[in-house]
Amino acid sequence: MTEATLFTRIIDREIPADIVYEDEFCIVINDISPQAPVHMLVIPRKPIARLADAEDNDKPLLGHLMWVAGEVARQAGVADAFRLVVNNGQAAGQTIFHLHLHVLADPQADSRGSETFSESNL
């Protein structure tokens, strides 16, 4: 990747964001256009355009991103029911070509008996 993405600019503090977690490998922000009551983005500091572009040496980073997704879900109180989404490529809905995981949850889903996160909705 030659040009800085929106996420790189957020990581570099050039653009403000609602940061909910960060460490030396990644940053987590609340999505500015949420698709669920809880919608966070787990973004690696290393700019990888798409999941399919990750290399063998990125395996530890990819595992860390999954752990962080679980950690921020716990912190948000939605660890019992959340969805992870990774869009890979424009045809799959990816609009920012800097790998990121969407953490989506509805804390009220259990009390409503909602099918919001049913696998039939995939």
The catalytic site residues sit at 100
Give the integer Cα–Cα distance in Å for 1 and 13: 19
Identity (one letter) of the amino acid at 86?
Answer: V
Beta pairing partners, 83? 104
Question: Nearest to residue 60, comparing CAs of 48, 76, 72, 75?
Answer: 48
* In contact, 31 and 104? CB cutoff 8 Å: no
